[in-house]
Structure 1
């Protein structure tokens, strides 16, 4: 604490001594001040004496029954109360801050997760940890893995499993890929499309390195088809661009079911399953192996896992009234 001395010099004043001074000034009695502060009277006397020496001025006129403030004390009291109040406010704010988690979290998300899945998780995370500053980069899965290894980001959310000695991955959410087309592109009576129809249709694919493209290729390859067997007419790096192209009738595409809810509701796109082929995949958390994670990363992962656990619990709960006995 710094206050101006009565002789014009500047001195550093101890917070506890100011607190003691205020108590004596308000009680006009050393003994009563000692009781209020839960200290002994000699302690009060010592604190006031030290304060008078620091300020080089007399603060109290002592009588047998009480003490009276000097003019210097009346000036000091006005500032002392402000100093103590500001100190207490600062302590309170610091204590509140330290009781919360704060810091930064750098994250990489593949396009589908970043645009359609992550926002709902971030909302809950920010409500719980408002002091954590988030930086989210939207890029394809390959780029995310390289950024993790280069320590450019702390954690990634990707669309495909990977094998890398430097990276740990764990699934956190199941997703389904469907074939999308403009209404009327296929027969309205169809809900399933054959692989032959896929081969005959112009396909719009995500760019190389995309998790979605990699998963689709794996499923088609296991069904006996390679990219050479397909009519790939366009490669786009954006889910929104793919949806717009398909909606315009330029072709069909494989896309996450989570990304077309609005378009389905508006009747802009139709989703089809492939006959005898269920394209399911997991979304994955990715982070560096054998590396101590930042506390903010741990908090984000714990929150994500907790939300998914709650969702799984809700999904397996019986519907109201569903109390059939078997």
Structure 2
């Protein structure tokens, strides 16, 4: 009998979760199947790996020694998938993932087209929702992974940076700040705000930077909280207040002069877009290929943006 990676993965999950039932739920398996795989692994090594005499599973001495090797094997498998996905051209199946509002509605659509051309046999199922909802669906195994606008700190979740973005102050035409290139944070805070709902990544990034500058976000004159970026844009365009959004989500309105983007002088609202997934699951190769595609596209865009423009003949 050969050593089986799947059994190591199950053993690692049982050890992390502290019970067979919790591991079974996390891995979308039945509890008897999880128990059988751990028993088979114990038979392979010829030693008990887990003590089952208490309500909570405890590692034996041999189990404690095996655990870091199991963890390393899982990480190595993930790294292997990431590297080999670069060379995988024939992929098929359904890719199910979630994305928070800004990413799903404004950042991803132009990227899905070239990815679809590269992998025409992958059927993409994308749900646009806020970060809290995405995590709930990942925990229920109805989504493979999610793309969110702020890091997620959770013992069962892996969060990895994929792309970068920056929020700016968005104001309507005719607003006192509309013709300003930049404004101080305290001055911006003196105007009424229209904000995304609590739980959205955009709002979290804004509030985190506000707190870092010693200001309480609750002190803002929040006249309205809305559940989508589109609704926020409409409210700001109507003159109900100003907001903080990604310029990528207001490109059309900026080009038409309906809204204006203003920098905040003494604060940085740069943020990463993160992929999130359960520690206890391995992503399908199609998901790994898609995340690699996003990283490579972002790197290419950054390199192009950082190149100095060539002066035409005759220019000084």
| Common fold by TM > 0.5 | yes
Higher relative CO (Cα under 8 Å, sequence separation at least 6) belongs to: 2
Aligned residue pair count: 224
Q: Does 1:225 align with 2:219?
A: no
244-253 vs 302-311, which moves further: 302-311
Q: Does 1:212 align with 2:220?
A: no
200-209 vs 307-316, which moves further: 307-316
Aligned to 1:179: 169
2:171 and 2:177 in contact (8 A); partners too: no
RMSD: 1.8
Q: Does 1:256 align with 2:246?
A: yes
Aligned to 1:123: 113
Aligned to 1:192: 182
In the alignment, the residues of structure 1 paired with residue 218 and residue 303 of structure 2 have an alpha-carbon distance, to the nearest angstrom, of 43
Aligned to 2:9: none
Q: Does 1:239 align with 2:239?
A: no
101-110 vs 221-230, which moves further: 221-230
- CA offset digits 1:285-308 (Å, max 9, x no partner): 112224221122122122222222
In the alignment, the residues of structure 2 paired with residue 318 and residue 179 of structure 1 have an alpha-carbon distance, to the nearest angstrom, of 27
Aligned to 2:130: 140
In the alignment, the residues of structure 1 paired with residue 236 and residue 184 of structure 2 have an alpha-carbon distance, to the nearest angstrom, of 18
2:152 and 2:276 in contact (8 A); partners too: no
In the alignment, the residues of structure 1 paired with residue 188 and residue 258 of structure 2 have an alpha-carbon distance, to the nearest angstrom, of 20
Aligned-residue offset at 1:278:
2.1
Aligned-residue offset at 1:271:
1.2
- CA offset digits 1:272-291 (Å, max 9, x no partner): 12231121111111122242
Of residues 149, 155, 174, the one that matches 2:145 is 155
Aligned-residue offset at 1:256:
0.8
Runs of 4+ in 1 over 6 A off after TM superposition: none
Q: Does 1:287 align with 2:277?
A: yes
2:184 and 2:264 in contact (8 A); partners too: yes
Aligned to 1:276: 266
Give SS of 1:151's match.
coil
Task: Call closer, same or farther: CA 1:191–1:321 in 2, change over 3 Å.
Answer: closer
* Structure 2 residues not aligned, in runs of 5+: 1-88
Give SS of 2:211's match.
helix
Aligned-residue offset at 1:309:
2.8
- CA offset digits 1:157-197 (Å, max 9, x no partner): 10001111221111121111111111121155422223333
- CA offset digits 1:201-233 (Å, max 9, x no partner): 111110010001111111111112213311111
* Structure 1 residues not aligned, in runs of 5+: 1-98
2:162 and 2:291 in contact (8 A); partners too: no
290-299 vs 205-214, which moves further: 290-299
Aligned to 1:57: none
In the alignment, the residues of structure 2 paired with residue 146 and residue 121 of structure 1 have an alpha-carbon distance, to the nearest angstrom, of 25
Give SS of 1:298's match.
helix
Aligned to 1:315: 305
Give SS of 2:91's match.
coil
Aligned to 2:35: none
